[in-house]
Each structure stands twice: as structure tokens, then as C-alpha cells.
Amino acid sequence: MTATLVETEYQQESVFNDDIYDVTIIGGGPVGLFGAFYAGLRKMSVKIIDSLPELGGQLSALYPEKYVYDMPGFPRVLAGTLAQDMVEQAMRFEPAVCLGEMVLDFERNSDNSITLTTQKATHRTKTVIIATGAGAFSPKRLNAPGVEEFESAGVHYFVRNKSQFAGQRLLIVGGGDSAVDWAMNLEEIAESITLIHRRDKFRCHEESLDWLMNRSRVETLLWHELRNVTGNGRVTGATIYDNRTNEDKVLNVDSVLLNIGFSADLGPIKRWGLKLEGQHIPVTQYMQVHDENGNVIDGVYATGDISTYLGKLKLIATGCGEIATAVYHAKTVVDPAARFTQIHSSNMEL
């Protein structure tokens, strides 16, 4: 099955627009999109700023043809389809959209509004919600002979088009959700799949692991790592080895999919004067952020993968709940009279 992406109309804002918005959401992924929709329900003026050229975040940019299994209401849904549906939902209340812009800095103005500065423009807002995911992300590269040489000819870190693996002999390297999910997604079209993992413990959902080990036709080799990739113009083989015995095994493969994780970089966020914990922003129960001295910053929130708190669970569903909380409290900053009003779609006329 191939994701069908239907274009959704949205108006990109002119860089000369000097309006002050009720809330500006930094990040146009699924969490930011749901936040834009929920803020629209609360009759707030909304702006979305994202550094990517399209909305949808990683769902659109990295794996539009991968199935998502843990989104409420969907037994399974293609990531690209989910992204498109969330864009359509977010655009219901016509937020301003600014794509290809990275927020470099923000400062509090004398009237308590906030100015966000990007490489293209300045944006004024009453409140800010940071929903940038893990920040700028790049795949962890594997330093094995042949990997770099064949990156454009059979070695992959991302999958944007599943059909390229049709009828192929595929080697997947990794033991997390991405590796196992891609084995599940590609089993129906690949001629064969071998998955290798360097140890015997996986970092994936239990149901996915049960499928891999007990119900799939994927050959799974534990304690194995990639020695090298070989080919003639494009990939034709790979050598793997048992890291307990150092014994080699040569595989005839057409493609190698490396799913060994991502390196995240907060980029300019590190210079915003916020309290950080590694690559994350710690938040209160209201999703508020702190300055470097530990003081809560009024009207500034962080949600989704970039935020952290005790017991944090990184799911799209979790992030959607977090940003609804952030929007609710941002509304009370914009309109203090709304403090005692809880709003949900079932008591509104849409």
C-alpha cells in the first residue's frame, strides 16, 4: 500500500506581517499541528513556524510510507496519511504558516509580548509553545567499509518510498522500534529480510517483538553486526559477524537499511536562556519552561519529544495531550477570564 498525500491548502504568511498572535507554535509536526487545531477551538490566533519545507515533521520528511500503530483511533495508519489528516485538521481555523524558517532567538518585549527572530523575519506573539520534536535530527552513521560508498546505491537510513524494496533481498541493522517496524512494513513486498542486532535485548514494543520472533518470515540473527558492504556500482552483498566469536557470514543482499538511532541537536534553542537537561527542556505540570536560574517563564511552554518530566513517555498521543494542556494555560495568559473555563469539542458548535 502506498501513502496518498492530498495537498491541503494553507496560507504562508508574508515576512512583513507585524500582527501579534495569541500563540506561536514552533514546530509543524503532529504535536504542533494538534496544538494549532486545539488553539483554534479556543478562538486563539495561531502561527506555526517550522524549519522544514512542509508540515508534518518526521511523519512527512522521514517515513511517509511507514505504518503507525500507536495512534488512537487507527488500527494502523500510514505516517504520510496521518500527517496529511493532521494538517487538514490544523488548517480548519486558518493559522498562519511560516515554513523554511528556523527560530534563532526570542526576547521579551516591554509590553510582555515576545519577539521571535528567524533567518527570514521577526514574529511577535503573546505566548510560545515549543514543539520541535528532538530538534534537528540526523541518523547515526555506521563506520563500516562500503557504507558511505553505497549510501546512494543501496544503503539507506530513511525510507520514503517502500516500492524501491519490492522483490529485494534486504538486510536491516538495528534493534529498536524503527528496525522492527520496517521489517514489519516491508515483509510483504521484499523477497527476503534478514535483521541483525548486536545483542539479545530489543528496544521495541513487546507486540512487535513477538511478531518478529514468532510470526514473521524475517530471519533474525542476534549478537551480529555489520562488517562491510560490497557491490559493483550498487549493493550486491554484505558481510556480518557474530560479535561473540568474530565468525563472518556473507549475505547476498540488494539493500541495507540502517536503523541504529538518531543524533539530535537542539541548535539555536541552546542559546535561548532556557533550563535544559541534555537535549531536553524540563517542564512543569502545566508544560511551562524555566530560565537558566530555574524560574518559570510565563507564557512559554514545551511539549512533545523535546520536553521532559518524571515518567515521560514519548508517543504522538502523549504529545497531543501535552500541547492541549499548554494551549489551555496559554489561553489564560491571553485571556485571564478563561482561567475557569474548560473547553472540549463536544460542547462546542464546530
pLDDT digits (tens, 9 = 90+) for 158-195: 888 899 999 999 999 999 999 999 999 999 999 999 99
Spans of the chain, pLDDT less than 50: 1-7, 14-16
Per-residue model confidence (pLDDT) at position 1: 38
Given 1.20.950.20, 1.10.3720.10, 3.50.50.60, 2.40.160.60, which CATH number is that of 141-260? 3.50.50.60
For 32-69, the DSSP string reads HHHHHHHHHHTT--EEEEESSSSSSTHHHHT-TTSEE-
Cβ-contact 116, 123 below 8 angstroms: yes
CATH class of 20-137+263-347: alpha beta
pLDDT digits (tens, 9 = 90+) for 17-64: 578 999 999 999 999 999 999 999 999 999 999 998 999 998 988 888
Per-residue model confidence (pLDDT) at position 16: 45
Residue 280's DSSP bridge partners are: 277
This prediction's pTM: 0.81
Domain boundaries, the chain: 20-137+263-347, 141-260
